[in-house]
Structure 1
Amino acid sequence: MAEKTEWDSSIAFIFAMIGAAVGLGNIWRFSYVLYSNGGGSFFIPYFTAIAIMGVPFLILEYGVGFSFKDSFSNILKKIKPQFEYIAWALVLFVFIVTIYYMVILSWDLVYLLSSFTFSWGTDAALYFTKTVGGSSNLSNASFLLLPTTICVLLLWVVLWFISHKNVDEGIGKVSKILIPALFVIMGIIVIYALTLPGAGIGIDTLLTPNWGMLLDVNIWLAAFAQIIFSLSMGQAIALTYASYLPENSKLIDNVLIVVASNSLFEIFTAFGVFSILGYMSATAGTPMVQLITEGTGLIFIVFPMIFNIMGPIGRILAPLLFLAILFAGITSALGFFEPMLSSTTVKLGWSRKKTATVLSVIGCGFSLILTTGISSYLVGIIDSFVNEFGILLLIGIQCIIFAWFYGVEHFLPALNEHSTFKVGKTWSFVIRYLLPIVLIVMWIIGIITLFSTAKRFEIIIDVIIIVGVMISAFALTKIRPAGE
């Protein structure tokens, strides 16, 4: 029988949850989403989404995990045996997130090492294409990007080393170190960025409200999507971590601490990002609109260009930024890895160390496939499909299962017993009716967008993923549990 796991305190849990929530999306996605969806006016749908989706769903996940104190697959199996298949499908999708997330982290590690000598040179875009992330030219799939390949191997060893230990010794201890360090590093970067000439131009560009955009449904959908991905909602991470909580935990208080920390971090970071873009605009005379981009383009192309013209301070800020991304990424990767690790350990009756080792070898093998000359193209395809199709659909299904098949009222005693803040009928209404509707609408719109723009190669990858998940989920469901 697999050993019982438990956090030694709520503090370890809170840091682990903040670590799972605060990730790459907070650093490079939020500022772009805020800017491109109405600037300052976006805060209205953003905080609305937190209030009616982020907080209520995390409360549900904490309540489920804490009440059952079991793996995600076992919890759904207890509610109804047929639901175990759904559980495995979700944890497999989240495991796929871990696989490509480690590749993105490896790009960052390459840049962290490069930041000491600025070996990306004067053409940052060429460096990313040739050395780190590759391109969408399919003929480049025949060779590996060696720096990325080596960094993937190193990072999987790190992930295994932390994950194979008891949660408190591994994830708990690492989160207690990395999360405060991350907040300090980002604090230094942002505070300095605010003093740069041109910082005001960037912040004005970021925050100038476009009130008319509030009438566009897509802005509201963008806010809900940001909250889902920013808080890692419905991915069995919060549920799994909460299942390790000791008795007498203040569940709702913990939710509010995690959500507030996550939001403050991404808003604070957005000010820093746009201050630095404003500096580039003022110094190099480049219009802001040419500098603003999302995700990897911002961090791995635009920012190295900015560090190049910063002089000596750029030599300090560059390693700090890439180190902050590494810390945020590692704690998030641990969160993505945990649901599969927990469910497999319980199902097969293996030790945590054995399961972590087997899954790390499998995960690393797939990550290595994504380090070819089309690395960034593959990661982009998989990221869009897994999130827009798989995870979003399964979050909606979870809502329906916990609210309708099990009964959301069963979680109220555990949630309210020790918490300073209480939930009741309003929260139950949101979980039962509001969230499933919002999630299903988002899923339908996402799927239409995804497949209406997909190329043939992208659809082939999507089909491989869905077939792989379906077969693997079926196999894991059919395996007889340990002890039976």
Structure 2
Amino acid sequence: MSNKNEWNSNLSFLLAMIGSAIGLGNIWRYPYVLYSNGGGTFYIPYFIAILLLGIPFLILEYGVGYNYKSSFAKAITQINSKWQYLGWFIPVTVFIFTVYYSVVLAWDGLYVVLSFSKAWGSNPNAYFATTLLQSSQNFTGLLNFIPLIGIVIAIVWIIIWFISHRGLEKGIGNVSKVLVPLLFIVMMALVGFSLTLPGAAIGLNELFNPNWQLLTKFDIWMAAFAQIIFSISLGMSISFTYASYIKEDTDLITNTLIITFANAIFENIAALGVFSVLGYMSLHSGTAVHDLVTQGIGIVFIVYPTVFNILGQWGFILGPLFFLTVYLAGFTSILSSIEPLSFSIQNKFNISRSKTITFLIIVGALLAMPFATSFGQTLLEYVDTFINLIALLLAIFFECIIFAWMFKAEKLIDFLNSRSKTFKLGKWWLIIVKYILPMFILIIWIGGIIDVVPNWTFSQLILSVLCGIFLLVTTLIFTILPAKDENWNEKQERI
């Protein structure tokens, strides 16, 4: 099946990729990473990681994606048919990520509504964990289905279907042109207000207070490289897939710079807002900022609602604005994460985009329903740890090896340089993508396993094994099923 999808303009591609990069992690993960790794000191390894990892890897993904103008699975098969399994492993892994990402997005959508009345009450922690999610760490919690959570999860998948099944440009392209600028506008308004809060300077001083001694610590450098990997969704086959839809004369190097720095600007603006609010909360409560700092769902569904309660009437304005920002950021990302598996299925089995998206939406919604039980929050934490720290990082390492060595990254240099209006690639780029990137990715993967796995509970180990079996079996099925597209094994290179 030939690729009939194409962005109508470079603007559509840019905004879709920026929307893909900007997600929930920019708001709830990055501010914590910045603070806990030396504040202002962290910017040194952060920008080095952008230059050594983010930009070179994105250029590599874009270049190979443009070369094949096909799905990720098909391209890997054409590079080396023995690696077709990896070609399905990454899209399936990203789809599992999409499933539990939709759950967090559903929670936030519910909080958009709750924020207009501050329905979480005087104890946001108890409301979120006990009243709303009825959280349980026991497997028996799977038997307690929470209808409200199931409904808001289903709504997320219906919206994804409504946008994605319409086609690339009419769906994702047009929506990105609206959501991405709106996301920046709302975030700027939110941060602008946060900066005017009494005590905002307290939080900002805590955030940017440098600790130069940390530059000699290995952890701060690994934190910077890990942040860039997850922040820009490197190696998740999303960038590859979107690049396969671009027009012939696209300047991929310049686009990479725009996308990378747009993402960096957004997450640093978000950090200003988060720590301004924490500074205000510290002043009001008398609690030190370092005792308030957290990441993940805690800062979104517990810390911020607590602040909105303290803000009084202003909380009725700031609350909906904040949760709307999180919702927009989540949706711009989730729309892209379903694309790699969708396009791969279309390619191999000669199925229309509309039918493929509909099938994946139904499967995704059903897989998300166990997260709508009392065990859902615990299940989400376990699955997220397994996917991000074990499955995805290892897959990214092998993708880097295949693209840089088996495809031969040097073939891209003349093509990319001929269209670049900014800078040119040279041997330095080859050294980075062939040697430096794989080394750092492998180190981060090993470090994550050493740091996390020994602390797993027995139930987390069991669920991780089950998740791994599901991932491996699903990938195997897609790999061994016979292709319906007669061009599946036909090598089609443009560079």
| Smaller-chain TM-score bracket | over 0.9
How far does residue 136 in structure 1 lie from its aligned partner after superposition? Answer: 4.4
Aligned residue for 1:427?
429
Contact 1:56 1:430 in 2 (8 A): yes
Aligned residue for 1:43?
43
Aligned residue for 2:306?
305
Counterpart check, 1:459 vs 2:461: yes
Matches within 5 A, 1:311-460: 311-420=312-421, 421-460=423-462
Aligned residues: 484
In 2, Cα distance between the equivalents of 1:400 and 1:314? 50
Aligned residue for 1:276?
277
In 2, Cα distance between the equivalents of 1:297 and 1:2? 45
How far does residue 130 in structure 1 lie from its aligned partner after superposition? Answer: 2.3
Contact 1:3 1:351 in 2 (8 A): no
Inter-CA distance 131–348: structure 2 relative to 1 (3 Å threshold): farther
Contact 1:134 1:376 in 2 (8 A): no
Q: Which runs of 5+ in 1 are unaligned?
A: none
How far does residue 283 in structure 1 lie from its aligned partner after superposition? Answer: 1.6
Contact 1:7 1:246 in 2 (8 A): yes
Q: Which moved more, 1:316-325 or 1:473-482?
A: 473-482
In 2, Cα distance between the equivalents of 1:212 and 1:82? 47
Amino acid at match of 1:94: V
Matches within 5 A, 1:107-186: 107-138=107-138, 139-186=140-187
How far does residue 418 in structure 1 lie from its aligned partner after superposition? Answer: 1.2
Amino acid at match of 1:53: L
Amino acid at match of 1:84: Q
Identity %: 44
Q: Which runs of 5+ in 2 are unaligned?
A: 487-495
Deviations 1:439-464 (A, max 9, x none): 11111111122211111111111111
Deviations 1:100-142 (A, max 9, x none): 0000001101111101111100010111112444434214332
Counterpart check, 1:14 vs 2:21: no
- Where 1:370 maps in the other structure, the secondary structure is helix
In 1, Cα distance between the equivalents of 2:235 and 2:163? 23
In 1, Cα distance between the equivalents of 2:142 and 2:411? 51
Contact 1:385 1:450 in 2 (8 A): no
Aligned residue for 2:247?
246
Contact 2:3 2:70 in 1 (8 A): no
How far does residue 480 in structure 1 lie from its aligned partner after superposition? Answer: 1.4
Deviations 1:166-220 (A, max 9, x none): 1111111111100111100000010111111100000001111111111111111
- Where 2:407 maps in the other structure, the secondary structure is helix
Deviations 1:370-408 (A, max 9, x none): 111122211111111101111111111111111111201
The alignment's C-alpha RMSD in Å is 1.1
Inter-CA distance 25–352: structure 2 relative to 1 (3 Å threshold): same
Contact 1:100 1:367 in 2 (8 A): yes
Q: Which moved more, 1:368-377 or 1:41-50?
A: 368-377
Amino acid at match of 2:465: V
In 1, Cα distance between the equivalents of 2:41 and 2:19? 28
Amino acid at match of 1:190: V
Aligned residue for 2:489?
none
In 2, Cα distance between the equivalents of 1:145 and 1:109? 16
In 2, Cα distance between the equivalents of 1:58 and 1:43? 20
